[in-house]
Structure 1
Amino acid sequence: MPKPFSDPIWQRPKTVSAFQPQPAVGAVDVVIVGGGIMGLSTALHAARQGRTVQVLEAGVIGEGASGLNGGQVIPGLKYDPEWLVEHFGKERGEALVNFAASTADAVFDLIRDENLAVPLTRNGWIQAAHTETALTAAANRDRQWRARGADVELLSQAEIAAMTGAKGYLGGWLDRRAGVVDPLAYTLELARVTAAAGAGIAPGQKVVKLRKDAGLWRVLTESGLEVRAKAVVLATNAYTDGLLPGLARTIVPLHSFQIATAPLPADIGAGILPGGQAVSDSRRILVYYRRSADGRLVLGGRGRMALPSSAADWAHLERALIRLYPALAGIAIEKRWFGRVAMTPDHLPHIHEPEKGLLAVAGCQGRGVGLMSALGKRMAGYLASGDARQLPFPLSPIRPIPFHAFRQVGVAATIAWYRMLDALER
């Protein structure tokens, strides 16, 4: 099968990283399956607690969604605080609100405290409203977070035009707790400090079988390696396969496509996101965008369900770019790439423990940089204590989505329908 067309903007450093892959060992306290942000964060905090940890990654560190995403570090969840309290009850709901508020801090504090070499800007994230309905929702969100002391602000039409330079927005919402990072640099640096903390990290080790024997989990890889562990954490998210029966059918993996322009000329770039904020808009099939450290505009959104094969597969994003910024019509698109995002039917991350010592996390909902960084620390706390109060989300049984095999077809049709409705709302 030919390799899909993909040329990401995020590049591995030319200098040799301090992180070097290590051969896996035979027996540890914890095996982490998946070397993305979730797996590495869990491994780092577990190792810092004195546990022996082995990360097994099927591919290369950073080649999955953790290193390919847009690098937006956004606190919160898809739901607002009042919904979370109503849905989960006052005690757990308030705890979950506090956790959601902390997810961006988890990233930026780690970068600062560990002195990670990660390009970043922390000037906030804008949720841009293109309809009156979206603006009303933004005002409601602003009220709820402001009541909890968050550094947020409702933006007028003039204010959002000045902050984004984009056309077509009626207003929006600014969350100053957010920011942007180079996601590949962050993932690689997270791997480096995780290895320095004593965790083993072995790329190229695809796990193909799990079984429990005499109180220990035996983890077998495709290459024939076997690692024994007291506990196993599956952190494969959108790349989940059939390793744990039913788990892959609890999520819908979607493709998130992105493009990056050539570095913008100074006269054009000066009016586009001058404050360095990230933006996500309110459309049904949203687009999200930011400036890169070298002055490009990076824009992403949902792509086709099939693997891309040519530059034409990103044409819908190029049209969105020009709709927002007509002055960019003559600027070359130099990079095109894609990654996977895992969505759950209720738009919340799920934590499963089908057997004692076997944990799985699924569903980053497109906010994985902050969410999975913060959740990894909580997972490590649960592994150490067994106290479910360490977890922000309740443990839930694995519930496969009915008719999952047809869900992708339905999602593709829904995306096409929503894209048409969005076009009518221009």
Structure 2
Amino acid sequence: MGNLWETSAAEQIAAPPLEHEVSADLAIVGGGYTGLSAALHAAERGARVVLLEADRFGAGGSGRNVGLVNAGLWLPPGDLIDLMGEDAGRRFNTAMGQGPDAVFDLIERHGIACEPVRAGTLHCAHGHAGMEDLRRRHAQGLAAGAPVTLLSAAEARARTGSPAVQGALHDARAGTIQPLAYARGLARAAQEAGARLHETSQVTETQYENGVWRLVTGQGGRVAARHLLFATNGYHRAPRGGDLPRLAVLHFFQLATEPLPEDRIAEVLPGGEGAWDTGTVMTSFRRDAAGRVILGGMGRADGLARGLHHGWARRKLAALYPALAGARFEHEWTGRIAVTGDHIPKVLEPGRGALAVFGYSGRGIAPGTMLGRAAAEALLEDRPEALPLSPLASYEDSAPRLRSLIYEAGAMAWHLAGARMRRG
């Protein structure tokens, strides 16, 4: 068992810890999509860049997610406009809708070996209420100019190969990747552009004085930089002088089967889309290049409820694909999702010449890539308008610890109820 993405990533990279003193135009804390995209784009602009990652590149959410390159956020575009206002909402919708183009362009331009498939994604209805939700999302998507198509039950079953779906919303802009390989590919590209990257370099202290940010690592490294970007999201390890707002955390686990022979897997998402459903406790499902089926669900499969979540996964796979009932799961991993109260990412100004980007609420690949690029531009050129949403001077979430507990309890209750129904 273990994280499939670690096992199957074709991209590899070496970046030693920082153990000496360096200076930079931009210091970046965090080696996920946001930080690595910022490093790449800043280096391509000729800036001196130093990136510090406490663990390994992609060790957080960037190496643990489903690998769906979605357009937009979890919120449908009309809801986003209601929350942000007409002008700000439309601007942010437009930027996030272009996210998959940015991701797949980087993959092609830098030859990133991350199993890219741009066949769109399928948001699948698991019942009547789910289909009503998809109709609403479809109408809002069309109003925003998105290439989305509402599929009937028969059409969705043909596209997914599953008898369990009641309809689906197809977004042609989207696709799938091997998420950890994409992160490592961004790191390689940033190195090739001249950025200095360092793994196992946890920042223990940040201080701003006389127009310079000074960072200290636990390995004895020191950085003096004109600008600073925190790109740690749900895996922030607060250094002295570098506290960020606490967010609610949602755990999401995935299980991957062994590679299956073509006669057993041929009907599973034959067009290569990635999929998830409208359930309150969401399920994701997709294939990888080796013919594995990867099933995801809310909850912590590495904790006390491991057996409960595994039982749910076996039942869910059989319900989605009866021919795969009993297939052996070969890999298992869990990640953390940082969730803001309104499900909109935040850009915070924690100090002069500094930004922090966080709170993707389960949509990190394309938004992280886009916001990392925009943050680098905003900092290096002193142009906050380069960001697709306005930076905040402060941010406080509502009862994040309580919401984290509610998310976990809800996932456990849902999967437990499924087990009892099965026994009944």
**Superposition TM-score, scaled by structure 1 size:** 0.91
Q: 2 CA distance for matches of 1:380 and 1:193?
A: 16
- Aligned letter for 2:3? P
Q: Is the 8 A contact 1:25 1:54 kept in 2?
A: no
Q: How far apart are 1:19 and its partner, in Å? A: 5.3
Q: How far apart are 1:317 and its partner, in Å? A: 2.2
The reply on whether 1:62 has 2:62 as its aligned counterpart is no
Task: Provide Cα deviations, 1:319-368, integer angstroms capped at 9, x if missing partner.
Answer: 22122122211321111111221111111111100311121111121111
Alignment partner for residue 211 of structure 2, among 206, 212, 215? 215
The reply on whether 1:340 has 2:336 as its aligned counterpart is yes
Q: Is the 8 A contact 2:341 2:398 kept in 1?
A: no
Alignment partner for residue 300 of structure 1, among 296, 299, 310? 296
Q: Secondary structure at the match of 1:120?
A: coil
Farther off after superposition, 7-16 or 127-136: 7-16
Alignment partner for residue 84 of structure 2, among 74, 84, 88? 88
Question: Counterpart of 2:3?
Answer: 8
Alignment partner for residue 187 of structure 1, among 170, 183, 188? 183
Q: How far apart are 1:420 and its partner, in Å? A: 6.4
5 Å matches for 1:165-180? 165-180=161-176
Q: 2 CA distance for matches of 1:50 and 1:158?
A: 53
The reply on whether 1:354 has 2:350 as its aligned counterpart is yes
Q: 2 CA distance for matches of 1:312 and 1:198?
A: 47
5 Å matches for 1:249-288? 249=246, 251-288=247-284
Q: 1 CA distance for matches of 2:120 and 2:107?
A: 17
The reply on whether 1:247 has 2:244 as its aligned counterpart is yes
Q: 2 CA distance for matches of 1:62 and 1:303?
A: 20
Farther off after superposition, 75-84 or 7-16: 7-16
The reply on whether 1:318 has 2:317 as its aligned counterpart is no
Q: How far apart are 1:256 and its partner, in Å? A: 1.4
Q: 1 CA distance for matches of 2:199 and 2:288?
A: 28
Question: Counterpart of 1:3?
Answer: none
Q: Secondary structure at the match of 1:230?
A: strand
Q: Secondary structure at the match of 2:4?
A: coil
Q: 1 CA distance for matches of 2:233 and 2:210?
A: 28
Question: Counterpart of 1:121?
Answer: 117
Question: Counterpart of 2:155?
Answer: 159
Question: Counterpart of 1:28?
Answer: 24
Task: Provide Cα deviations, 1:172-191, integer angstroms capped at 9, x if missing partner.
Answer: 10001111111121111110
Task: Provide Cα deviations, 1:53-91, integer angstroms capped at 9, x if missing partner.
Answer: 100000112322212221111111122222223332332
Q: 2 CA distance for matches of 1:405 and 1:81?
A: 28
Q: How many residues align?
A: 420
Q: Is the 8 A contact 1:311 1:336 kept in 2?
A: no
Q: How far apart are 1:257 and its partner, in Å? A: 0.7
Q: How far apart are 1:315 and its partner, in Å? A: 3.1
Q: Is the 8 A contact 1:29 1:53 kept in 2?
A: yes
Percent identical pairs in the alignment equals: 36
Q: 1 CA distance for matches of 2:147 and 2:401?
A: 43
Question: Counterpart of 1:102?
Answer: 98
Farther off after superposition, 216-225 or 189-198: 216-225
- Aligned letter for 2:244? L
Q: How far apart are 1:398 and its partner, in Å? A: 3.4
- Aligned letter for 1:75? A
Relative to structure 1, the CA distance from residue 344 to residue 168 in structure 2 (aligned partners, 3 Å threshold; closer, same or farther) is same
**Unpaired stretches in structure 1, ≥5 consecutive residues:** 1-5
Q: Secondary structure at the match of 2:374?
A: helix
Relative to structure 1, the CA distance from residue 14 to residue 140 in structure 2 (aligned partners, 3 Å threshold; closer, same or farther) is closer
Q: Is the 8 A contact 1:305 1:412 kept in 2?
A: no
Alignment partner for residue 391 of structure 2, among 388, 395, 420? 395
Q: Secondary structure at the match of 1:354?
A: coil
Q: Secondary structure at the match of 2:318?
A: helix
Q: 1 CA distance for matches of 2:420 and 2:152?
A: 23
Relative to structure 1, the CA distance from residue 104 to residue 398 in structure 2 (aligned partners, 3 Å threshold; closer, same or farther) is same
Q: Is the 8 A contact 1:285 1:422 kept in 2?
A: no
Farther off after superposition, 18-27 or 255-264: 18-27
Alignment partner for residue 368 of structure 2, among 369, 372, 383? 372
Q: Is the 8 A contact 1:152 1:176 kept in 2?
A: yes
Q: Is the 8 A contact 1:80 1:141 kept in 2?
A: yes
Q: How far apart are 1:224 and its partner, in Å? A: 2.2
Q: 2 CA distance for matches of 1:14 and 1:131?
A: 36
Q: 2 CA distance for matches of 1:82 and 1:29?
A: 39
- Aligned letter for 2:92? L
Task: Provide Cα deviations, 1:263-304, integer angstroms capped at 9, x if missing partner.
Answer: 222222111111111001000110111110001101111123
- Aligned letter for 1:283? G
Q: 1 CA distance for matches of 2:324 and 2:11?
A: 36
Q: Is the 8 A contact 1:241 1:248 kept in 2?
A: no
Q: 2 CA distance for matches of 1:342 and 1:14?
A: 24
Farther off after superposition, 86-95 or 21-30: 21-30
Q: How far apart are 1:228 and its partner, in Å? A: 0.8
Q: 1 CA distance for matches of 2:154 and 2:301?
A: 37
Question: Counterpart of 2:71?
Answer: 75
Q: Is the 8 A contact 1:12 1:184 kept in 2?
A: no
CA RMSD of aligned residues (A): 2.5
Q: 1 CA distance for matches of 2:326 and 2:315?
A: 12
- Aligned letter for 1:247? L
Q: How far apart are 1:309 and its partner, in Å? A: 9.2
